Structure 1
Amino acid sequence: MITRIYKEVFFEATHRLIHYRGKCFRLHGHQWRVEVWIEGTSDERTGIVLDYNCIKEVVGRFDHQVILNADDPMAASIEAFHPVVTTPGDPTSELIAALIADMINAEAARQGLDARVAKIRVWESTSCYAERTYDRQ
């Protein structure tokens, strides 16, 4: 039987989009909201699909961070004063959704669990989000 769980997590972070022409080209911050739907088989012993804290810890890796494209020339300068989370492209809500989903899936696999992200939403503001859905494989 497949079970689905849901977790909502918030984090604060700064980013900029170097390939965008507009306000988001400048370094700025958001309170990000992440909603994650996980599906899988409950563990026979614990009855848990995936510990909610696992999701919180993965998302927490972005909390109070500067998130920049790995090609952003600003990254090296900021790194001298503060750690920088680099991404393989502009850190859009779309890309961050994909990265978080991959990180959660990798952690579930590392724990030997039959659990994976079914859907994820990453809210960049109260009116804008990116959503990714995944078919069960």
Structure 2
Amino acid sequence: MNTRIYKEVFFEATHRLIHYKGKCFRLHGHQWRVEVWIEGTADERTGIVLDYNCIKEVVGRFDHQVILNADDPMAACIEAFHPVVTTSGDPTSENLAGLIAEMINTEAGRHGHNARVVKIRVWESTTCYAERTYDRQ
């Protein structure tokens, strides 16, 4: 029997979109909101599908970070002073949704949980979010 859980996490981070023609080309920050729906089989002994703290810890890796495209020439400059989280492609809410979902799935598997992200939303403002949905496999 599958069970679905939900977790909401916030983080603060800076990013820029090097392939975008507009103000988001400039380095700027957001309070990001991540909503995650996970489906899986609850552990027989604990009754837990996936520890909510696992989700919080994965998303927390982005908190107070600079997130840049791996091809961004600014990454090397900033790295001299502050760690930089790099992404393949521009760090849009769409791309971050996919990356965070993959990271959560990897952590769930690493801890032996039969659980996967089935839906994720990454909000970069109070009015804008990207959503990805996945079929349970």
1:6 maps to amino acid: Y
Does the alignment pair 1:133 with 2:133?
yes
Q: CA deviation at 1:112?
A: 1.1
The residue number in structure 2 matching 1:25 is 25
TM-score (norm 2): 1.00
Q: CA deviation at 1:13?
A: 0.1
2:98 is paired with a residue whose SS is: helix
TM-score (norm 1): 1.00
2:53 is paired with a residue whose SS is: helix
Residues of 2 paired with 1:59 and 1:32: CA distance?
10
Moved over 6 A (4+): none
The residue number in structure 2 matching 1:108 is 108
Residues of 1 paired with 2:33 and 2:114: CA distance?
25
RMSD of Structure 2 on Structure 1 (CA): 0.3
The residue number in structure 2 matching 1:4 is 4
Residues of 1 paired with 2:45 and 2:96: CA distance?
33
The residue number in structure 2 matching 1:53 is 53
Residues of 2 paired with 1:14 and 1:134: CA distance?
27
2:21 is paired with a residue whose SS is: coil
Residues of 1 paired with 2:80 and 2:102: CA distance?
28
Matches within 5 A, 1:117-128: 117-128=117-128
1:131 is paired with a residue whose SS is: strand
Residues of 2 paired with 1:16 and 1:10: CA distance?
19
Does the alignment pair 1:42 with 2:42?
yes
Residues of 2 paired with 1:42 and 1:4: CA distance?
9
Structure 2 portions without partners, runs of 5+: none
2:128 maps to amino acid: C
The residue number in structure 2 matching 1:73 is 73
Q: CA deviation at 1:131?
A: 0.1
2:73 maps to amino acid: P
